[in-house]
């Protein structure tokens, strides 16, 4: 029975592997600067480094020119370096994330190669490159893709150190963990600590001494402490305390962000985010029984990715606050698990037949459902884009089913990977630019900028809309109102107010006697499925830009201030 990829194929030369890895990373880099910022999270990691450049303060992060202490500064510094290289704009915000995703690809390849050989490395890379959540994070959320990069890198270096040993092999592990801490805080230490702790207990070995924990503590401290000490000296403990108490312990122990979600919330999230590979993971877990029979007593390092994935799932399932992307650190570990299982069993067994058959059936169902979804929620999308994914999923389903029936699981895997990769490439090349017409905030800010009177006491912001990217595009502080009485008071103030709000809220304020002029309006596309279902139609709701005064164009600009690369003006 063949392996997932034929060893005789020219693709298995070093050059072939390098070319294939480069091709797999391509969708992450296509049209990085075409779309405007995704509200809300991406705006924070675009604007905060811009404000560092404006104020000259690189120590204490700010957003909307107010302290932002929720996260450590490494993501802001990395985006800042990208600004220095490419100019301030959407491309520069996303380029580090695309590079981080490419790094994740390489670490998955390297980790599976260490455990199982080059074929398995290539399989793990294909799985990582065609995982939906990694694609989304790489293109819109710098902090989480960077955290995923550092954690996946730490997993790779752990596997390397466990194989070859020595103090020097462990230094990169702790370096990456320290950088992960500087990206998103203690979670970068908690995940590997729980995974390694569980694995060493299961292995029945005293491995702590071989991990050089004191050396590791020194390396992590050398990475983390300088910034915290500098901030403490400059701003005191009150500046740092909310990060540890509210944004880490608070989010884990209390429901402070988003709706209440039960302990089983991440099961459907995992199945959908990791589809169709989640179906193969079930077969991979079943194949671990054969690995236990083949091993000496104890658990080899090949089990560590399983403990890693389980640690991530357990931590965030127990957390009171849950977001769908929190479990992303599972996916590279799962990719290595599946690659190893495929290499061990070479696609044999009923479990793999059911897994491939299930993937083919679900892809066929998707190919039938997608035209209905586009017709119901995205009637504006051109027919070519509407039916493109349908054709790709249908072709992939037929190929997977055909090769599974012919007992050629390697070719079935290749067909599945190619179909998914093509969908992501099509999404990056065609769908993301097409959706920009349904994302009006950048255009609203252009309208505001054309009418802004710097000497007239103008103010701008949003009401119950969560559009922090306005700060980035207007390059000035904005208001963020949620209380109707306070917003009504603003509308009745003598100063000119520009506000973005929903149509329902616009009609509410008209009913309260506010005199408002509509300057622009447009439909809002959201990545949240609940928003798409709002009012039963795509794209969810309509946003309206209004002012409490009649407006005409005032400001004049040399060139277009909303071009993808902008000049930063110091205040």
**Sequential pLDDT tens for the chain (571 residues):** 444 444 445 666 788 889 999 999 999 999 999 899 988 789 999 999 999 999 999 998 999 998 888 889 999 999 999 999 999 999 999 999 999 999 999 999 999 999 999 989 999 999 999 999 999 999 988 899 999 999 999 999 999 999 887 888 999 999 999 999 999 989 999 999 999 999 988 876 666 667 888 999 999 999 999 999 998 888 887 777 776 666 666 566 666 666 667 889 999 999 889 988 888 887 777 776 666 666 555 578 888 999 999 999 999 998 888 888 899 999 999 999 999 888 876 645 555 555 666 666 666 666 666 666 666 666 666 666 667 777 777 777 777 777 766 666 677 788 888 888 988 998 898 888 888 888 899 999 999 999 998 777 899 999 998 899 999 999 999 999 999 999 999 999 988 999 999 999 999 999 998 899 999 998 877 655 445 444 444 445 689 999 998 766 554 443 344 444 444 443 3
With tokens 């599974």, the residue in question is 404
| Residue 245 to residue 252: CA distance in whole angstroms | 10
Residue range(s) of every CATH 3.40.190 domain in the chain: 440-547
**Could you tell me which CATH class the domain 440-547 is placed in?**
alpha beta
| Residue 543 to residue 499: CA distance in whole angstroms | 10
Question: 335: number of CA atoms within 13 Å, CB side?
Answer: 33
| Residue 509 to residue 507: CA distance in whole angstroms | 6
| Residue 392 to residue 301: CA distance in whole angstroms | 38
* Torsion sign across C-alpha atoms 418, 419, 420, 423: positive
> Under a CB-based contact definition with an 8 Å cutoff, are residues 318 and 191 in contact?
no
Structure tokens at 189: 């230490």
Among 113, 130, 97, 109, CA closest to 24: 130
479-481 β-sheet, strand order: 479-481, 459-463, 497-502, 541-547, 517-524
**Positions of E strands within 47-157:** 62-63, 66-67
> Under a CB-based contact definition with an 8 Å cutoff, are residues 147 and 184 in contact?
yes
Rg (CA), the chain: 25
Enclosing H/E stretch for 8: none
With tokens 């509407």, the residue in question is 386
Structure tokens at 35: 């779309």
Q: Structure pTM?
A: 0.88
With tokens 């799932």, the residue in question is 313
566 backbone dihedrals φ, ψ, rounded to 5°: -115, 160
């Amino acid at each position: 029975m063949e392996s997932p990829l034929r060893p005789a194929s020219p693709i298995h030369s070093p050059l072939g592997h390098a070319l294939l890895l480069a091709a797999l990373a391509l969708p992450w880099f296509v049209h990085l600067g075409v779309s405007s910022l995704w509200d809300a999270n991406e705006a924070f990691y675009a604007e905060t480094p811009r404000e560092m450049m404006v104020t000259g303060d690189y120590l204490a992060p700010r957003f909307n020119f107010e302290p932002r202490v929720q996260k450590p500064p490494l993501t802001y510094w990395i985006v800042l370096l990208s600004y220095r290289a490419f100019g301030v704009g959407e491309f520069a915000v996303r380029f580090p994330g695309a590079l981080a995703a490419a790094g994740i690809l390489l670490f998955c390849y390297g980790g599976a190669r260490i455990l199982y050989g080059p074929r398995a490395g290539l399989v793990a890379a294909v799985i990582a490159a065609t995982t939906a959540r990694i694609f989304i994070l790489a293109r819109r959320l710098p902090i989480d893709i960077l955290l995923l990069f550092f954690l996946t890198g730490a997993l790779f270096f752990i596997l390397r150190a466990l194989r070859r040993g020595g103090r020097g092999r462990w230094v990169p592990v702790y370096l990456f963990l320290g950088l992960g801490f500087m990206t998103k805080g203690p979670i970068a230490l908690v995940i590997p600590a729980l995974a390694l702790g569980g694995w060493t207990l299961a292995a029945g070995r005293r491995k702590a001494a071989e991990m050089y924990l004191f050396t590791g503590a020194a390396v992590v401290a050398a990475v983390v402490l300088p910034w915290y000490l500098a901030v403490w000296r400059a701003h005191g403990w009150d500046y740092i305390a909310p990060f540890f108490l509210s944004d880490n312990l608070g989010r884990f122990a209390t429901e402070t962000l988003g709706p209440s979600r039960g302990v089983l919330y991440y099961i459907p999230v995992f199945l959908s985010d990791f589809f169709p590979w989640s179906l193969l993971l079930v077969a991979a877990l079943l194949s671990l029984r054969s690995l236990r029979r083949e091993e000496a007593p104890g658990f080899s390092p090949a089990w560590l990715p399983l403990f890693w994935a389980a640690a991530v799932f357990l931590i965030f399932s127990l957390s009171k606050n849950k977001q769908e992307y929190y479990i992303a650190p599972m996916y590279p570990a799962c990719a290595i698990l599946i690659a190893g299982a495929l290499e061990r069993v070479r696609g044999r067994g009923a479990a793999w037949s059911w897994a491939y058959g299930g993937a083919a059936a679900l892809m066929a169902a998707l190919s039938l459902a997608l035209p209905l979804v586009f017709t119901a929620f995205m009637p504006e999308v051109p027919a070519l884009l509407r039916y493109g994914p349908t054709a790709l999923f249908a072709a992939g389903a037929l190929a997977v089913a055909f090769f599974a029936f012919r007992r050629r699981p390697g070719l079935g895997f290749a067909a599945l990977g190619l179909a998914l990769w093509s969908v992501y490439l099509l999404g990056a090349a065609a769908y993301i630019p097409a959706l920009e017409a349904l994302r009006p905030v950048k255009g609203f800010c252009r309208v505001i900028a054309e009418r802004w009177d710097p000497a007239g006491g103008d103010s701008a912001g949003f009401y119950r809309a969560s559009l922090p990217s306005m700060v980035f595009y207007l390059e000035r502080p904005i208001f963020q109102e949620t209380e109707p009485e306070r917003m009504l008071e603003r509308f009745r103030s003598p100063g000119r107010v520009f506000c973005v709000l929903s149509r329902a809220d616009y009609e509410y304020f008209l009913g309260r006697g506010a005199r408002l002029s509509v300057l622009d309006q447009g439909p809002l596309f959201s990545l949240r499925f609940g928003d798409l279902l709002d009012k039963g139609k795509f794209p969810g709701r309509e946003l309206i830009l209004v002012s409490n005064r009649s407006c005409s164009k005032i400001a004049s600009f040399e060139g277009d201030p909303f071009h993808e690369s902008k000049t930063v003006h110091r205040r």
